[in-house]
Structure 1
Amino acid sequence: MLKILINIFRARVRSLLTMAGIAVGVFSVTLISTIGAVGTEQVGSTLVTMGVDTLLVQAASKSVSVTLTDDDVSEVRRIDGVTDVMPLMASVTEAKMIDRRLDCYVWGVDKSADKLISLEAEHGRLVTNADCAALSKVCVIDEQFAVEAYGRSNVVGKKLRMFLGGKYHEFTVIGVAKSGLSSLQGMLSNIMPGFMYIPITTMQQLCGRTTYDKIAVKIGAEDFSPNTVTSALDRKNGHVDGYLCNNLLSQKSQLEDILSIVTTALSLTAGISLVVSGISVMTAMMMSVGERTREIGIKKAIGAKKRDILGEFLAESVLLTLIGSAAGIAGGLLVSFVGCLAFGVPFSADIASLALSAAATALLGALFGAYPAAKAAKLSPADALRM
């Protein structure tokens, strides 16, 4: 190994340029691979934040024969793999505040809204059991809606009038939720109006209803089948395909697949530069063979075999690529890490891809170094000593 390093150092300028070419190619592949890994992690964590492990169950048709009741909520709660359940009511309505009227999407929720639909308070608080028990006319509005209505996000304590059950009712804003985090917003179109959340018991009373529009179901594992819930409700109520179950798990899988394909395609494109760098390795080794022809002749004259010469030059080419590869990987990881720190996202690296990249680079070194090594091994001692 020391001898090989001495040979590389002997032509240090050429060796450094060759390793730099390899390093740039591996740096590109490493950077793209790491960005893909970080992106995949961010997609997963964002969807989990939005409620990727929450199912929304609703009637499959608008027939009055298919409804959701307290008994249905209890039935779902008994299913293995279900960790929490919350009934929901929903209505598109109008809210008046100051001198403005805005459309809004009102949800009736209870204290489990933070867990079931990933609702998070930016200001104030969320709906509690006490609010539900007292039939309080309080509401939580999303941040986007607050800014649109009042020009600022913190509007806790403000009054507004909401149209429910055929007339307007005054509500007090007790909290402002972060926009876009709720799984309800993640499952519904971006063209929906602002979201508001009120105690579900208050909504039932004002709307004169005892049934629910949806049931939010928290599941414990990604392999949980939504059909388990719909089948249980169909059996209980004697329906056939009477319920629908929506979630974000399929979207998570699709987004991760898309990111994987894009990352692979970009990595392969960047990998072309490795092939170009491999050609530079071949050029450098050919020059090395030419400069050391007499040395090769002397080694063969004192007993060196073809395989010894072949192995020496192959080892040099592989070592050149490995050093360049290590520098490229280190540089790519460093830049990625700094970028993650700058943007405030967790750092993540695909170790398998990096190992594959290093192995592929070493293989390229062996392939492109094979011809110069074979040429050196085939030299006869007499011809080599005459050169």
Structure 2
Amino acid sequence: MSDYLKYAVKNLFRNKFRTFLTIIGIAIGVCSVIIIGSISDMGKSAINSELNSLGIGALTIETDKRVTDMELSENDLQVIQSTDKVTKAVPIMLEYTNAYTRNLVLNSAVWGIDSGAKQIFSLQLLYGRLIGKADVGASENVCVVDKVFAQQTYKRTNIVGKAIKIRLGGSDEEFKIIGVVNSGGNMLQSLLSSYIPTFVYVPYTSLQKAAGKQSFDQIALQVADSSAIDAVAKNVIRRLEQATGYKEIYKTQNIAGQKDKLNNLLSIISYVLSAIAAISLIVAGLSIMTVMLVSVNERTREIGIKKAIGARRVTIMSEFILEAFAISILGSLIGSVIGLLLSLLGFFFMNITPIINIPLLLICIGFAIVNGTIFGVYPAAQASKLNPVDALRTE
């Protein structure tokens, strides 16, 4: 076996450039699959981090607008707050509108929140203060903006004390900025600023006053036991239906469940793209077959001499199969190293903790080696079948 390996490696360098191109073809295929897998892992990590940072509790309750015009009320809030295993419930109002400042118009999601919303939303205070009970009780026109809003309007993060106008209820209402927060979603907002709005938080009573209503759009709640979210959701709906007498008008949204669905979608996309990239490995395998057939043709006389002095068919086959194996493993290792380095650079620039998908790496290397070796079997068989007399006649 050591002799087979020695001759296989020696024969690889007979035509260095041709061998190099074949190895590079395999390396590109392996590198492509690893990079696609890493992009998928990177996307999952980034999106999960952003969804977690957005907060919005573990569960939200709202009425189904497809079947009713009813909205949630204070009585509904009290029913939810008294439900077993619900640790916190806060009213939420949401208005997608425009905010004006310094002759700039920003597409904004204006959240009407309670003073205890920090326990539901992920609001990391950077400057100023958050909305308090007094602000909610007096329906004050004060607001908290996220870091992206501050940077887009004033090119700095601390804009406490500034005033903005928000279009609410058909008119422009002026609000004083009392705080700046890192509210989550900043990465997505930065990358997709044309599609993802900036966040502005106001007392929900102020939003109610501007809209002229006493109801809520949603109620967000925290659950004591995350494993019992579905059971709590069913219990909340059951109690709301008992309290109001209305059936099938309430619905819940499990934020964790939505995240799982998104992860599954990303996985499917990753598998499809990886399969497409794997086609390049099959093409590289065909190139190995072509190179090996050319090598057999070039070494016909050598094969004839070996068979004339007693070399068996299995000896000739083993030599050529080991050459295909050597090309495959060199290409796989080079592609893996390059793919991992590029992936790590991507994680670094995206400021995401590196994730190395070991199973994907091993499967990719194994497939490339097996694929290349299999494509080397036919040329090896052709070489082993050569008649020594005919081979020796070859010039």
TM-score (norm 1): 0.75
Aligned equivalents of 1:206 and 1:310: distance in 2?
A: 84
What is the CA deviation profile of residues 23-75 of structure 1, one whole-angstrom value per residue up to 9, with x for unaligned ones?
A: 12222222222222212222222222223763221234334797644422323
How far apart are 1:334 and its partner, in Å?
A: 0.6
- Residues 125 and 301 of structure 1, relative CA distance in 2, 3 Å threshold: farther
Please, which moves more after superposition, 89-98 or 352-361?
A: 89-98
Cα pair 1:119 1:181 within 8 Å, conserved: no
Counterpart secondary structure, 1:379: coil
Could you say which residue in structure 2 is the equivalent of 1:263? 270
Counterpart secondary structure, 2:341: helix
How far apart are 1:374 and its partner, in Å?
A: 0.9
Counterpart secondary structure, 1:117: coil
What is the CA deviation profile of residues 88-123 of structure 1, one whole-angstrom value per residue up to 9, with x for unaligned ones?
A: 356789999899999986544345433412234343
TM-score (norm 2): 0.74
Cα pair 1:69 1:212 within 8 Å, conserved: no
How far apart are 1:298 and its partner, in Å?
A: 5.5
Aligned equivalents of 1:271 and 1:327: distance in 2?
A: 16
Cα pair 1:135 1:201 within 8 Å, conserved: yes
1:62 equivalent to 2:63? Answer no
Counterpart secondary structure, 1:88: strand
Aligned to 2:80, which of 73, 78, 84?
73
- Residues 93 and 351 of structure 1, relative CA distance in 2, 3 Å threshold: closer
1:41 equivalent to 2:41? Answer no
Please, which moves more after superposition, 100-109 or 114-123?
A: 100-109
Cα pair 1:117 1:216 within 8 Å, conserved: no
- Tell me the matched-pair count: 377
Percent identical among aligned pairs is 37
Cα pair 1:69 1:210 within 8 Å, conserved: no
Give the aligned CA root-mean-square deviation in angstroms: 4.5
- Residues 173 and 307 of structure 1, relative CA distance in 2, 3 Å threshold: same
Aligned equivalents of 2:69 and 2:254: distance in 1?
A: 20
Cα pair 2:293 2:379 within 8 Å, conserved: yes
Cα pair 1:8 1:15 within 8 Å, conserved: no
What is the CA deviation profile of residues 337-368 of structure 1, one whole-angstrom value per residue up to 9, with x for unaligned ones?
A: 12332333333343333322222212221221
What is the CA deviation profile of residues 280-323 of structure 1, one whole-angstrom value per residue up to 9, with x for unaligned ones?
A: 21122223334544554565556554334323322321221121
Please, which moves more after superposition, 203-212 or 153-162?
A: 203-212
Counterpart secondary structure, 1:215: strand
Matches within 5 A, 1:1-387: 2-3=2-3, 4-12=5-13, 13=16, 14-51=18-55, 54-60=58-64, 61-63=68-70, 68-76=75-83, 78-79=84-85, 84-89=88-93, 107-128=111-132, 138-143=142-147, 153-158=157-162, 172-178=176-182, 181=185, 195-199=199-203, 212-219=216-223, 221=226, 224-225=229-230, 226-249=233-256, 251-293=258-300, 296-297=303-304, 300=307, 304-384=311-391, 387=394
- Residues 278 and 208 of structure 1, relative CA distance in 2, 3 Å threshold: closer
Cα pair 2:303 2:391 within 8 Å, conserved: yes
Q: Which runs of 5+ in 1 are unaligned?
A: none
Aligned equivalents of 1:376 and 1:97: distance in 2?
A: 79
- Residues 11 and 42 of structure 1, relative CA distance in 2, 3 Å threshold: same
Aligned equivalents of 2:351 and 2:255: distance in 1?
A: 25
Cα pair 1:73 1:86 within 8 Å, conserved: no
Aligned equivalents of 2:260 and 2:23: distance in 1?
A: 39
Q: Which runs of 5+ in 2 are unaligned?
A: none
- Residues 49 and 313 of structure 1, relative CA distance in 2, 3 Å threshold: same
Cα pair 2:72 2:218 within 8 Å, conserved: no
Aligned equivalents of 1:246 and 1:325: distance in 2?
A: 45
How far apart are 1:330 and its partner, in Å?
A: 0.9
- Residues 33 and 146 of structure 1, relative CA distance in 2, 3 Å threshold: closer
Match of 2:375, as an amino acid? F
Aligned equivalents of 1:301 and 1:93: distance in 2?
A: 87
Cα pair 2:72 2:216 within 8 Å, conserved: no
- Residues 136 and 26 of structure 1, relative CA distance in 2, 3 Å threshold: same
Aligned equivalents of 2:139 and 2:342: distance in 1?
A: 55
Match of 1:271, as an amino acid? A
